[in-house]
Amino acid sequence: MGRRGREPAAVPDQCQAGHGHVHERAGAAYRRRVPRRWASAAPPGPGAGPLPPAQGGDGGRARPPLRRRRPRHGPGRRLLPVGNLRRCGRGHLLPLRVRSGRGRRLHPRAGVLDQRPLPRCLAPLLRHLDAGTHRRGRRPAQDCRGQDRGRPVSRRTAIVTGSTSGIGHEIARRLHADGFNVLVTGRDETRGERVSEELGEHVVFVAVDLTSPGGPAELATTAIDRFGRLDVVVNNAAIDHADDLLEAPTADVRRVFEVNTIATIAVLQESAKRMQHGGAIINITSRLASIGVPTMGIYSATKGAIKALTMSAAVELAPRNIRVNAVAPGMTRTPLYDAWLDDQADPEQTERDVVAAIPLGRLASCADVAAAVSFLASEEAAYITGVSIPVDGGYTAH
């Protein structure tokens, strides 16, 4: 018998004269010779049974002629089992090509199914393979970067609280440069409008008090009403506080917690409820959430609470495809830092001491912090959640 992929073996003349048995199927091109040990037991006439022992036979059943094996449909083309299918334009299924592996052959014609209706048993498979649908209770089908398949790509929307100056302003500018619609928030309308005009289109300023009962909900609703979606929230709004721990008035402590912690929790709650396709929440904490500094105990407590909130929220909101992370800036050159430096007895020496304590030998810039936020807001960080990234030049590492 000839090997597959070669011309069939020639049939000897004696076989054609009756000394052998020829199985003819689909023309002379598919003739094959039966082995002599089988042909010798067969009578000259076609279709006859085995020879009896008296005539030299063994009395057993004659072995049937070999069936022709189907040729391959091109080099390396094998059809997959039923479970490996894809949709074609006419609603039927096509088997995929593979490089190796035998699998179950679905149809002999060039790797393509014919136009017969598919069996009902494949209906669950079709629903599973349909990219536009998913089972109830499951997350939407996503690609390797976390993006929903089948959803049209449009300009994403970000909220940046406390973004009229300092770090928040730079974060808003960076996200706008990354292609986001940006909601700038703050209590100073003059500065807010100035930032909005500076950044240009796709930027809206919202004057809101986040400590008011309806402030966070109003902010999230405005994003949906104005841009149709909400994808990223940066909780940056905060106030500073420095005082002797034993002398700090309760009213001051309550005020710092209301702005730095309670308002952040409220914005997270209202925003996460409106993230229809998942998203990212980034909380701006501080290096002081990880270290102890005299006179900064109250402020450190508010930022430490946000760091703990970040980890818990990341776990709880993961089923919604919402990532929650934090960025912890170190000493950053901002208007607030400059004001603090001016209050020191020797500002120049104070800054030299501050820089000497930083392994990288310089203060952070607002752009350094914004770069970390930009990364966490991007699809490149689609598998990162529940972490706090220090942007402090290595200060908390030593």
Q: 157 pLDDT exceeds 80? A: yes
Q: Which range among 11-20, 148-157, 195-204, 280-289 shows the weakest confidence by mean pLDDT?
A: 11-20
For residue 251, report the phi and psi dihedrals to the nearest 5 degrees. -65, -40
Distance of CA 176 to the CA centre of its chain: 22
Three-state DSSP class for residue 88: coil
The pLDDT score that the predictor gives to residue 82 is 46
What is the length of the chain?
A: 398
Residue of 30, 273, 299, 395 marked active site? 299
Which tokens sit at 339? 């004001």
Taking residues 25-41, report their average pLDDT.
50
Residue predicted with more confidence, 5 or 252: 252
Of the two residues 112 and 335, the one the predictor is more confident about is: 335
Alpha-carbon gap, residue 388 to 330, rounded angstroms: 13
Is a pLDDT exceeding 50 seen at residue 90? no
275 compared with 22, residue with greater pLDDT:
275
* Predicted local distance difference test score (pLDDT) of residue 279: 97
Q: What is the residue-averaged pLDDT of the chain?
A: 78
| Residue 78 confidence class, pLDDT cut points 50, 70, 90 | very low
Contact predicate 192/164, CB 8 Å = yes
Q: What is the distance between the alpha carbons of residues 344 and 214, in angstroms, rounded to a whole number?
A: 39
Radius of gyration from C-alpha coordinates of the chain: 37
Share of the chain above pLDDT 90, in %: 55
| 233, β-bridge pairs | 159, 281
Indicate the domain borders of the chain: 85-129, 157-397
From first CA to last CA, the distance across the chain in angstroms is 78
Determine the average pLDDT of the residues in 261-270. 98
Q: What is residue 336's predicted lDDT score, i.e. its pLDDT? A: 86
The whole-number average pLDDT for the span 4-13 is 51
Catalytic-residue membership of 299: yes
Q: How far is CA 195 from CA 8, 99, 191, in A?
A: 82, 57, 6
What pLDDT, on the 0 to 100 scale, is given for residue 315?
98
Averaged pLDDT, 321-326: 98
Flag whether pLDDT at 199 surpasses 70.
Answer: yes
For residues 205-223, average pLDDT: 94
Using alpha carbons, select from 240, 249, 239, 341 the residue that is nearest to residue 296.
Answer: 240
The answer to whether 184 and 206 are in contact (CB under 8 A) is: yes
User: Which of 373, 70, 392 lies closest to 233, judged by CA?
Assistant: 373
From residue 210, give the alpha-carbon distance in Å to each of 33, 185, 270: 90, 9, 11
Predicted confidence band at 188 (pLDDT cuts at 50, 70, 90)?
A: confident
The backbone torsions φ and ψ at residue 282, rounded to the nearest 5 degrees and listed phi first, read -125, 120
Work out the number of other CB atoms within 10 angstroms of the CB of residue 108: 11
What SS3 state is found at 343?
coil
The half-sphere exposure of 342 on its side-chain side, counting CA atoms within 13 A, is 7
- pLDDT category of residue 113 using cuts at 50, 70 and 90: very low
The per-residue pLDDT for 36 is: 53
Catalytic residue among 303, 337, 383, 395: 303
Is the CATH number of domain 157-397 1.10.30.50?
A: no
CA 121 to CA 118: how far, in whole Å?
8
- What is the SS3 assignment for 205? strand
Give 118-130 pLDDT, tens digit per residue: 566 666 666 655 5
Residues 166 and 191 sit within 8 Å (Cβ to Cβ): no
How is residue 312 written in tokens?
Answer: 């818990």
